[in-house]
A = this chain, B = another copy of it.
Protein backbone atom coordinates (compact mmCIF):
# COMPACT_ATOMS: atom_id res chain seq x y z
CA UNK A 1 0.00 0.00 0.00
CA UNK A 2 0.97 3.66 -0.07
CA UNK A 3 3.51 4.75 2.52
CA UNK A 4 1.79 8.04 3.25
CA UNK A 5 -1.14 9.90 1.72
CA UNK A 6 -1.46 13.68 1.62
CA UNK A 7 -5.05 14.95 1.55
CA UNK A 8 -5.10 18.16 -0.48
CA UNK A 9 -8.37 19.46 0.85
CA UNK A 10 -10.23 20.70 3.93
CA UNK A 11 -13.63 20.30 5.61
CA UNK A 12 -15.78 17.21 5.71
CA UNK A 13 -14.25 15.65 2.60
CA UNK A 14 -10.73 15.86 4.00
CA UNK A 15 -12.02 14.12 7.14
CA UNK A 16 -13.79 11.48 5.02
CA UNK A 17 -10.57 10.68 3.16
CA UNK A 18 -8.42 10.70 6.30
CA UNK A 19 -10.79 8.14 7.81
CA UNK A 20 -10.47 5.87 4.80
CA UNK A 21 -6.67 6.08 5.00
CA UNK A 22 -6.71 5.38 8.72
CA UNK A 23 -8.91 2.35 8.09
CA UNK A 24 -6.22 1.07 5.74
CA UNK A 25 -3.56 1.83 8.34
CA UNK A 26 -1.92 4.36 6.00
CA UNK A 27 -0.28 7.40 7.66
CA UNK A 28 -1.82 10.71 6.62
CA UNK A 29 -0.81 14.31 5.97
CA UNK A 30 -3.15 17.28 6.24
CA UNK A 31 -2.57 20.75 4.87
CA UNK A 32 -4.26 23.82 6.25
CA UNK A 33 -4.71 27.54 5.89
CA UNK A 34 -4.32 30.00 8.74
CA UNK A 35 -8.11 29.92 9.20
CA UNK A 36 -8.14 26.17 9.69
CA UNK A 37 -5.64 25.46 12.44
CA UNK A 38 -8.32 23.94 14.69
CA UNK A 39 -10.16 22.14 11.89
CA UNK A 40 -10.94 18.48 12.31
CA UNK A 41 -8.76 17.45 9.37
CA UNK A 42 -5.71 18.96 11.07
CA UNK A 43 -6.59 17.20 14.31
CA UNK A 44 -7.22 13.79 12.70
CA UNK A 45 -4.14 13.62 10.47
CA UNK A 46 -0.79 12.21 11.55
CA UNK A 47 1.00 15.23 10.11
CA UNK A 48 -0.20 18.73 9.31
CA UNK A 49 1.46 21.59 7.45
CA UNK A 50 0.49 25.21 7.15
CA UNK A 51 -0.04 26.40 3.57
CA UNK A 52 -0.63 30.11 3.98
CA UNK A 53 -3.34 32.72 4.59
CA UNK A 54 -7.05 31.93 4.55
CA UNK A 55 -8.01 32.80 0.94
CA UNK A 56 -7.97 29.67 -1.24
CA UNK A 57 -5.63 31.18 -3.81
CA UNK A 58 -3.02 31.61 -1.10
CA UNK A 59 -3.58 28.21 0.47
CA UNK A 60 -5.62 25.29 -0.86
CA UNK A 61 -5.03 26.29 -4.49
CA UNK A 62 -1.23 26.52 -4.08
CA UNK A 63 -0.37 23.38 -6.06
CA UNK A 64 3.35 24.17 -5.92
CA UNK A 65 3.44 24.37 -2.12
CA UNK A 66 1.35 21.25 -1.74
CA UNK A 67 3.60 19.15 -3.94
CA UNK A 68 6.59 20.58 -2.13
CA UNK A 69 5.13 19.52 1.23
CA UNK A 70 4.34 16.04 -0.10
CA UNK A 71 7.92 15.67 -1.32
CA UNK A 72 9.46 16.88 1.91
CA UNK A 73 7.36 14.69 4.19
CA UNK A 74 7.63 11.61 2.02
CA UNK A 75 4.01 11.27 0.91
CA UNK A 76 3.79 9.01 -2.12
CA UNK A 77 0.17 9.77 -2.97
CA UNK A 78 -2.17 12.77 -2.95
CA UNK A 79 -5.95 12.61 -2.70
CA UNK A 80 -7.46 15.86 -3.96
CA UNK A 81 -11.04 15.42 -2.66
CA UNK A 82 -13.51 17.60 -4.60
CA UNK A 83 -13.21 21.28 -5.52
CA UNK A 84 -9.89 23.15 -5.20
CA UNK A 85 -7.30 21.22 -7.26
CA UNK A 86 -9.35 18.07 -7.87
CA UNK A 87 -10.02 18.75 -11.54
CA UNK A 88 -6.86 20.59 -12.53
CA UNK A 89 -5.02 18.72 -15.22
CA UNK A 90 -1.84 20.64 -14.41
CA UNK A 91 -1.93 19.53 -10.79
CA UNK A 92 -2.40 15.86 -11.65
CA UNK A 93 0.44 16.17 -14.14
CA UNK A 94 2.70 17.93 -11.61
CA UNK A 95 2.09 15.11 -9.12
CA UNK A 96 3.08 12.60 -11.75
CA UNK A 97 6.24 14.59 -12.55
CA UNK A 98 7.13 14.62 -8.87
CA UNK A 99 6.74 10.85 -8.68
CA UNK A 100 3.64 11.12 -6.51
CA UNK A 101 0.50 9.13 -7.28
CA UNK A 102 -2.50 11.35 -7.93
CA UNK A 103 -5.54 9.47 -6.57
CA UNK A 104 -7.78 10.11 -9.53
CA UNK A 105 -7.79 9.82 -13.30
CA UNK A 106 -4.91 10.55 -15.68
CA UNK A 107 -4.28 14.20 -16.57
CA UNK A 108 -5.45 13.53 -20.12
CA UNK A 109 -8.85 12.34 -18.90
CA UNK A 110 -9.17 15.37 -16.61
CA UNK A 111 -8.31 17.61 -19.52
CA UNK A 112 -10.76 15.91 -21.86
CA UNK A 113 -13.63 15.98 -19.38
CA UNK A 114 -12.61 19.06 -17.42
CA UNK A 115 -13.14 21.40 -20.30
CA UNK A 116 -16.88 20.95 -20.73
CA UNK A 117 -16.72 21.64 -24.45
CA UNK A 118 -14.05 19.09 -25.23
CA UNK A 119 -15.99 16.65 -23.08
CA UNK A 120 -19.11 17.07 -25.14
CA UNK A 121 -17.26 16.53 -28.37
CA UNK A 122 -15.53 13.44 -27.00
CA UNK A 123 -18.66 11.71 -25.75
CA UNK A 124 -20.62 12.68 -28.86
CA UNK A 125 -18.00 10.81 -30.84
CA UNK A 126 -18.82 7.77 -28.66
CA UNK A 127 -22.52 8.36 -29.58
CA UNK A 128 -23.57 9.51 -26.12
CA UNK A 129 -26.47 12.00 -26.39
CA UNK A 130 -25.67 15.59 -25.28
CA UNK A 131 -27.62 18.76 -24.56
CA UNK A 132 -27.39 21.24 -27.44
CA UNK A 133 -24.95 24.10 -26.76
CA UNK A 134 -21.74 25.82 -27.80
CA UNK A 135 -19.69 22.84 -28.82
CA UNK A 136 -16.78 24.79 -30.28
CA UNK A 137 -13.34 25.03 -28.75
CA UNK A 138 -12.98 26.91 -25.41
CA UNK A 139 -12.40 30.60 -24.77
CA UNK A 140 -15.27 32.15 -26.72
CA UNK A 141 -15.61 35.89 -26.28
CA UNK A 142 -18.78 37.61 -25.13
CA UNK A 143 -19.44 38.72 -28.68
CA UNK A 144 -19.15 35.15 -29.99
CA UNK A 145 -21.45 33.86 -27.30
CA UNK A 146 -24.03 36.61 -27.83
CA UNK A 147 -24.03 35.84 -31.54
CA UNK A 148 -24.44 32.10 -30.99
CA UNK A 149 -27.11 32.27 -28.27
CA UNK A 150 -30.16 32.72 -30.55
CA UNK A 151 -29.19 29.52 -32.44
CA UNK A 152 -29.58 27.53 -29.20
CA UNK A 153 -32.71 29.43 -28.20
CA UNK A 154 -33.86 30.80 -24.86
CA UNK A 155 -34.00 29.94 -22.02
CA UNK A 156 -30.36 28.86 -21.93
CA UNK A 157 -27.60 28.49 -19.41
CA UNK A 158 -24.21 30.13 -19.10
CA UNK A 159 -21.82 27.69 -17.48
CA UNK A 160 -18.20 27.93 -16.33
CA UNK A 161 -15.88 25.86 -18.52
CA UNK A 162 -13.76 24.90 -15.54
CA UNK A 163 -16.70 24.77 -13.18
CA UNK A 164 -19.02 22.63 -11.24
CA UNK A 165 -21.39 22.99 -8.31
CA UNK A 166 -23.35 25.76 -9.99
CA UNK A 167 -20.60 28.34 -9.51
CA UNK A 168 -20.38 30.71 -12.45
CA UNK A 169 -23.69 29.42 -13.76
CA UNK A 170 -26.46 31.77 -14.89
CA UNK A 171 -29.82 31.23 -16.46
CA UNK A 172 -30.66 33.54 -19.35
CA UNK A 173 -34.23 34.23 -20.43
CA UNK A 174 -33.47 36.68 -23.23
CA UNK A 175 -30.67 38.23 -25.27
CA UNK A 176 -31.14 41.60 -23.56
CA UNK A 177 -30.17 40.43 -20.09
CA UNK A 178 -27.32 38.25 -21.37
CA UNK A 179 -24.37 40.73 -21.29
CA UNK A 180 -24.78 41.51 -17.58
CA UNK A 181 -25.19 37.83 -16.73
CA UNK A 182 -22.10 36.91 -18.76
CA UNK A 183 -20.08 39.44 -16.79
CA UNK A 184 -21.22 38.16 -13.41
CA UNK A 185 -20.80 34.52 -14.42
CA UNK A 186 -17.23 35.17 -15.55
CA UNK A 187 -16.50 37.07 -12.36
CA UNK A 188 -17.76 34.21 -10.19
CA UNK A 189 -15.99 31.58 -12.29
CA UNK A 190 -12.74 33.53 -12.08
CA UNK A 191 -13.06 33.80 -8.32
CA UNK A 192 -14.03 30.15 -7.77
CA UNK A 193 -11.80 28.37 -10.30
CA UNK A 194 -9.25 30.92 -11.38
CA UNK A 195 -10.67 30.62 -14.90
CA UNK A 196 -13.32 32.94 -16.29
CA UNK A 197 -14.19 30.95 -19.42
CA UNK A 198 -17.85 30.13 -19.96
CA UNK A 199 -20.02 28.33 -22.49
CA UNK A 200 -23.70 28.12 -23.36
CA UNK A 201 -26.16 25.27 -23.11
CA UNK A 202 -29.84 24.72 -23.92
CA UNK A 203 -31.98 24.61 -20.79
CA UNK A 204 -33.89 21.30 -20.75
CA UNK A 205 -37.22 22.05 -19.10
CA UNK A 206 -38.88 19.76 -16.53
CA UNK A 207 -35.61 17.89 -16.29
CA UNK A 208 -34.27 15.68 -13.53
CA UNK A 209 -30.59 15.69 -12.71
CA UNK A 210 -29.58 12.06 -12.54
CA UNK A 211 -25.96 10.96 -12.35
CA UNK A 212 -24.22 7.63 -12.61
CA UNK A 213 -21.31 6.69 -10.34
CA UNK A 214 -18.48 4.96 -12.19
CA UNK A 215 -15.49 2.98 -10.98
CA UNK A 216 -12.72 2.00 -13.40
CA UNK A 217 -9.36 0.36 -12.80
CA UNK A 218 -6.11 0.51 -14.76
CA UNK A 219 -6.88 -2.75 -16.54
CA UNK A 220 -9.88 -1.60 -18.53
CA UNK A 221 -12.50 -2.86 -16.04
CA UNK A 222 -15.28 -0.36 -15.48
CA UNK A 223 -18.56 -0.67 -13.60
CA UNK A 224 -21.44 1.60 -12.60
CA UNK A 225 -22.81 1.75 -9.06
CA UNK A 226 -26.33 2.83 -9.94
CA UNK A 227 -27.62 6.38 -10.00
CA UNK A 228 -28.16 9.34 -7.74
CA UNK A 229 -31.03 11.77 -8.17
CA UNK A 230 -29.78 15.28 -7.49
CA UNK A 231 -32.70 17.27 -8.83
CA UNK A 232 -33.34 19.16 -5.60
CA UNK A 233 -31.19 22.21 -6.29
CA UNK A 234 -31.25 25.91 -5.58
CA UNK A 235 -29.31 28.31 -7.77
CA UNK A 236 -27.85 25.16 -9.40
CA UNK A 237 -26.44 24.02 -6.08
CA UNK A 238 -27.46 20.52 -5.10
CA UNK A 239 -29.19 20.38 -1.74
CA UNK A 240 -30.66 16.89 -1.46
CA UNK A 241 -29.57 13.71 -3.21
CA UNK A 242 -31.04 10.27 -3.13
CA UNK A 243 -30.31 6.78 -4.38
CA UNK A 244 -31.97 5.13 -6.10
CA UNK A 245 -33.95 7.79 -7.98
CA UNK A 246 -37.71 7.47 -7.38
CA UNK A 247 -38.07 8.28 -11.08
CA UNK A 248 -35.91 5.43 -12.33
CA UNK A 249 -36.66 1.89 -13.39
CA UNK A 250 -34.27 -1.01 -13.83
CA UNK A 251 -34.36 -0.83 -17.62
CA UNK A 252 -33.40 2.86 -17.72
CA UNK A 253 -30.76 2.25 -15.04
CA UNK A 254 -29.06 -0.37 -17.16
CA UNK A 255 -29.29 1.76 -20.28
CA UNK A 256 -27.85 4.87 -18.62
CA UNK A 257 -25.27 2.82 -16.74
CA UNK A 258 -24.01 1.27 -19.94
CA UNK A 259 -23.85 4.64 -21.70
CA UNK A 260 -22.03 6.13 -18.68
CA UNK A 261 -19.41 3.40 -18.78
CA UNK A 262 -19.02 4.03 -22.51
CA UNK A 263 -18.53 7.77 -21.88
CA UNK A 264 -15.86 7.03 -19.25
CA UNK A 265 -14.09 4.60 -21.53
CA UNK A 266 -14.05 7.19 -24.32
CA UNK A 267 -11.36 9.02 -22.32
CA UNK A 268 -9.72 5.85 -20.92
CA UNK A 269 -11.01 6.82 -17.54
CA UNK A 270 -9.43 5.36 -14.39
CA UNK A 271 -10.63 5.73 -10.74
CA UNK A 272 -13.99 7.03 -9.47
CA UNK A 273 -16.00 9.43 -11.59
CA UNK A 274 -19.54 10.57 -12.18
CA UNK A 275 -21.44 11.09 -15.38
CA UNK A 276 -24.17 13.67 -14.98
CA UNK A 277 -27.26 13.47 -17.16
CA UNK A 278 -30.39 15.51 -17.60
CA UNK A 279 -33.41 13.25 -17.98
CA UNK A 280 -36.62 14.69 -19.36
CA UNK A 281 -40.09 13.50 -18.39
CA UNK A 282 -40.16 11.06 -21.33
CA UNK A 283 -36.97 9.44 -20.00
CA UNK A 284 -34.76 10.82 -22.77
CA UNK A 285 -31.35 11.46 -21.25
CA UNK A 286 -28.57 13.87 -22.22
CA UNK A 287 -24.94 13.89 -21.12
CA UNK A 288 -24.29 17.01 -19.10
CA UNK A 289 -20.73 16.63 -17.89
CA UNK A 290 -18.38 14.22 -16.23
CA UNK A 291 -16.98 14.98 -12.79
CA UNK A 292 -13.53 13.42 -12.79
CA UNK A 293 -13.32 13.14 -9.02
CA UNK A 294 -15.05 12.04 -5.86
CA UNK A 295 -18.51 13.61 -5.60
CA UNK A 296 -19.95 15.38 -2.52
CA UNK A 297 -22.94 13.05 -2.61
CA UNK A 298 -21.00 9.76 -2.91
CA UNK A 299 -22.26 8.48 0.50
CA UNK A 300 -25.80 7.76 -0.75
CA UNK A 301 -24.29 5.33 -3.25
CA UNK A 302 -22.12 3.82 -0.52
CA UNK A 303 -25.16 3.20 1.67
CA UNK A 304 -27.22 1.43 -1.00
CA UNK A 305 -24.40 -0.59 -2.58
CA UNK A 306 -22.19 -1.30 0.46
CA UNK A 307 -19.15 -0.17 -1.60
CA UNK A 308 -16.67 2.14 0.17
CA UNK A 309 -15.93 4.44 -2.76
CA UNK A 310 -12.97 6.25 -1.19
CA UNK A 311 -11.34 2.97 -0.17
CA UNK A 312 -11.87 1.74 -3.72
CA UNK A 313 -10.26 4.92 -5.10
CA UNK A 314 -7.15 4.26 -3.06
CA UNK A 315 -7.00 0.61 -4.14
CA UNK A 316 -7.39 1.54 -7.79
CA UNK A 317 -4.68 4.21 -7.56
CA UNK A 318 -2.40 1.58 -6.01
CA UNK A 319 -2.84 -0.52 -9.15
CA UNK A 320 -5.31 -3.05 -7.80
CA UNK A 321 -8.07 -4.60 -9.84
CA UNK A 322 -11.63 -3.51 -9.04
CA UNK A 323 -12.96 -5.39 -5.99
CA UNK A 324 -16.35 -5.73 -7.65
CA UNK A 325 -17.74 -6.95 -10.94
CA UNK A 326 -20.92 -5.42 -12.36
CA UNK A 327 -22.93 -8.45 -11.25
CA UNK A 328 -21.71 -7.99 -7.61
CA UNK A 329 -23.41 -4.59 -7.43
CA UNK A 330 -26.88 -4.75 -5.93
CA UNK A 331 -28.93 -1.85 -4.65
CA UNK A 332 -30.34 -2.46 -1.17
CA UNK A 333 -32.79 -0.07 0.48
CA UNK A 334 -32.82 3.68 -0.02
CA UNK A 335 -30.49 6.52 1.00
CA UNK A 336 -31.03 10.28 1.21
CA UNK A 337 -28.48 13.02 1.83
CA UNK A 338 -29.26 16.53 3.05
CA UNK A 339 -26.48 19.07 2.67
CA UNK A 340 -26.38 21.16 5.80
CA UNK A 341 -25.21 24.63 4.82
CA UNK A 342 -24.39 27.56 7.07
CA UNK A 343 -27.09 29.62 5.39
CA UNK A 344 -30.19 31.29 6.78
CA UNK A 345 -33.25 30.02 4.91
CA UNK A 346 -35.29 32.85 6.42
CA UNK A 347 -32.96 35.49 5.07
CA UNK A 348 -32.50 34.65 1.41
CA UNK A 349 -30.15 31.77 2.20
CA UNK A 350 -27.41 34.26 3.04
CA UNK A 351 -24.26 32.61 4.40
CA UNK A 352 -23.86 32.62 8.16
CA UNK A 353 -20.48 32.61 9.90
CA UNK A 354 -19.32 32.49 13.49
CA UNK A 355 -18.20 30.33 16.36
CA UNK A 356 -20.17 27.10 16.76
CA UNK A 357 -20.83 26.97 20.49
CA UNK A 358 -22.79 23.74 20.40
CA UNK A 359 -23.07 20.90 17.93
CA UNK A 360 -25.16 17.84 18.74
CA UNK A 361 -25.25 15.48 15.77
CA UNK A 362 -28.05 12.97 15.30
CA UNK A 363 -26.91 9.39 15.75
CA UNK A 364 -28.49 5.94 16.03
CA UNK A 365 -29.61 3.37 13.49
CA UNK A 366 -29.31 4.21 9.80
CA UNK A 367 -27.81 7.67 10.32
CA UNK A 368 -24.45 8.84 9.03
CA UNK A 369 -23.06 12.34 9.46
CA UNK A 370 -20.04 13.47 7.47
CA UNK A 371 -18.94 16.74 8.99
CA UNK A 372 -15.99 18.76 10.15
CA UNK A 373 -17.95 20.72 12.74
CA UNK A 374 -17.74 20.30 16.50
CA UNK A 375 -18.60 22.39 19.57
CA UNK A 376 -15.96 25.13 19.57
CA UNK A 377 -15.04 25.38 15.87
CA UNK A 378 -15.23 28.65 13.94
CA UNK A 379 -17.08 28.78 10.61
CA UNK A 380 -15.12 31.30 8.54
CA UNK A 381 -16.32 33.24 5.50
CA UNK A 382 -13.54 31.95 3.26
CA UNK A 383 -14.85 28.61 2.10
CA UNK A 384 -17.90 26.72 0.98
CA UNK A 385 -20.96 27.08 3.25
CA UNK A 386 -21.56 23.30 3.42
CA UNK A 387 -20.65 22.27 6.96
CA UNK A 388 -22.17 18.79 7.18
CA UNK A 389 -23.84 16.07 5.20
CA UNK A 390 -26.62 14.21 6.94
CA UNK A 391 -27.20 10.87 5.26
CA UNK A 392 -29.76 8.24 6.20
CA UNK A 393 -30.50 4.74 5.03
CA UNK A 394 -33.86 3.01 5.18
CA UNK A 395 -35.28 -0.25 3.93
CA UNK A 396 -37.64 1.77 1.76
CA UNK A 397 -37.79 5.36 0.54
CA UNK A 398 -40.61 5.99 3.00
CA UNK A 399 -38.57 4.76 5.93
CA UNK A 400 -35.61 6.85 4.80
CA UNK A 401 -37.75 10.00 4.71
CA UNK A 402 -39.15 9.33 8.19
CA UNK A 403 -35.67 8.65 9.50
CA UNK A 404 -34.36 11.85 7.89
CA UNK A 405 -37.15 13.77 9.61
CA UNK A 406 -36.21 12.48 13.03
CA UNK A 407 -32.50 13.06 12.38
CA UNK A 408 -33.08 16.65 11.21
CA UNK A 409 -35.19 17.35 14.30
CA UNK A 410 -32.42 15.97 16.55
CA UNK A 411 -29.63 18.00 14.94
CA UNK A 412 -28.56 21.01 17.02
CA UNK A 413 -26.09 23.62 15.83
CA UNK A 414 -25.75 26.89 17.71
CA UNK A 415 -23.58 29.78 16.55
CA UNK A 416 -24.45 29.81 12.87
CA UNK A 417 -27.81 29.58 11.16
CA UNK A 418 -28.29 26.52 8.98
CA UNK A 419 -30.66 25.40 6.26
CA UNK A 420 -31.95 22.51 8.41
CA UNK A 421 -35.47 24.07 8.49
CA UNK A 422 -35.41 24.06 4.69
CA UNK A 423 -34.71 20.32 4.71
CA UNK A 424 -37.40 19.74 7.33
CA UNK A 425 -39.92 21.57 5.19
CA UNK A 426 -38.83 19.58 2.15
CA UNK A 427 -39.20 16.24 3.98
CA UNK A 428 -42.77 17.26 4.85
CA UNK A 429 -43.60 18.37 1.32
CA UNK A 430 -46.12 16.11 -0.45
CA UNK A 431 -44.33 16.54 -3.79
CA UNK A 432 -41.01 15.44 -2.36
CA UNK A 433 -42.66 12.53 -0.58
CA UNK A 434 -44.27 11.55 -3.86
CA UNK A 435 -40.98 11.81 -5.74
CA UNK A 436 -42.62 14.45 -7.99
CA UNK A 437 -39.92 17.01 -8.57
CA UNK A 438 -37.54 18.34 -11.18
CA UNK A 439 -34.50 20.60 -11.08
CA UNK A 440 -36.70 23.72 -10.96
CA UNK A 441 -38.81 22.50 -8.08
CA UNK A 442 -37.09 24.45 -5.31
CA UNK A 443 -37.07 27.73 -7.16
CA UNK A 444 -40.46 27.54 -8.79
CA UNK A 445 -42.76 25.57 -6.55
CA UNK A 446 -41.21 25.67 -3.12
CA UNK A 447 -40.93 28.29 -0.45
CA UNK A 448 -40.40 28.37 3.26
CA UNK A 449 -43.94 28.32 4.65
CA UNK A 450 -43.10 31.06 7.15
CA UNK A 451 -42.43 33.42 4.25
CA UNK A 452 -45.81 32.80 2.63
CA UNK A 453 -48.40 35.53 2.81
CA UNK A 454 -51.00 33.08 4.09
CA UNK A 455 -48.88 31.26 6.59
CA UNK A 456 -50.38 28.66 8.88
CA UNK A 457 -48.90 28.48 12.36
CA UNK A 458 -48.77 25.11 14.06
CA UNK A 459 -47.86 25.98 17.62
CA UNK A 460 -48.14 29.76 18.07
CA UNK A 461 -48.90 29.61 21.79
CA UNK A 462 -45.86 27.39 22.41
CA UNK A 463 -43.64 29.77 20.43
CA UNK A 464 -45.12 32.62 22.44
CA UNK A 465 -44.30 30.83 25.69
CA UNK A 466 -40.69 30.22 24.61
CA UNK A 467 -40.10 33.83 23.61
CA UNK A 468 -41.79 35.24 26.67
CA UNK A 469 -39.85 33.05 29.08
CA UNK A 470 -36.56 33.98 27.44
CA UNK A 471 -37.45 37.68 27.34
CA UNK A 472 -38.54 37.54 30.96
CA UNK A 473 -35.31 35.87 31.94
CA UNK A 474 -33.22 38.42 30.04
CA UNK A 475 -35.09 41.24 31.76
CA UNK A 476 -34.50 39.59 35.14
CA UNK A 477 -30.83 39.29 34.37
CA UNK A 478 -30.54 42.96 33.45
CA UNK A 479 -32.17 43.98 36.69
CA UNK A 480 -29.97 41.52 38.58
CA UNK A 481 -27.00 43.22 37.02
CA UNK A 482 -28.10 46.28 38.97
CA UNK A 483 -28.97 44.38 42.14
CA UNK A 484 -25.85 42.30 41.98
CA UNK A 485 -26.07 40.63 45.33
CA UNK A 486 -29.29 38.92 44.48
CA UNK A 487 -27.80 37.18 41.51
CA UNK A 488 -27.07 33.87 43.15
CA UNK A 489 -30.58 33.62 44.51
CA UNK A 490 -32.11 33.74 41.06
CA UNK A 491 -34.97 31.36 40.57
CA UNK A 492 -33.63 30.42 37.18
CA UNK A 493 -31.41 27.55 38.15
CA UNK A 494 -30.57 26.93 34.51
CA UNK A 495 -28.55 30.09 34.35
CA UNK A 496 -26.22 29.23 37.08
CA UNK A 497 -24.41 26.03 36.50
CA UNK A 498 -22.99 26.47 33.06
CA UNK A 499 -21.84 29.95 33.89
CA UNK A 500 -20.11 28.85 37.05
CA UNK A 501 -18.40 26.20 35.02
CA UNK A 502 -16.97 28.61 32.51
CA UNK A 503 -16.26 31.46 34.86
Contacts and interface: CB of A to CB of B under 8 A. Distances in A.
Interface stretch (A16-24, A101-109, A417-425): A16-24
Given A19-B365, A306-B395, A406-B19, A374 B355 contact: no
A202 interface: no
B364 A365 contact: no
A499 B376 CA distance: 11
Max chain B C-beta neighbours (<10 A), residue from A22, A23, A308? A23
B358 A406 contact: no
Contacts of A25: 402
A237 interface: no
Contact of A501 (B299, B355, B369): B355
A120 interface: no
Interface in A365-411: 365-371, 374-376, 395, 399, 402-403, 405-406, 409-410
A367 B358 CA distance: 21
Contacts of A455: none
B302 A16 contact: no
Contact of A497 (B355, B360, B363, B366): B355
Determine the interface band of chain A, counting residues with CB < 8 A from chain B.
Answer: 35 or more
A479 interface: no
Contacts of A374: 360
Given A355-B497, A358-B376, A410-B44, A364 B15 contact: yes
Interface of A: 15-16, 19-20, 22-25, 44, 299, 302, 306, 308, 332-333, 355, 357-361, 363-371, 374-376, 395, 399, 402-403, 405-406, 409-410, 497-499, 501-503
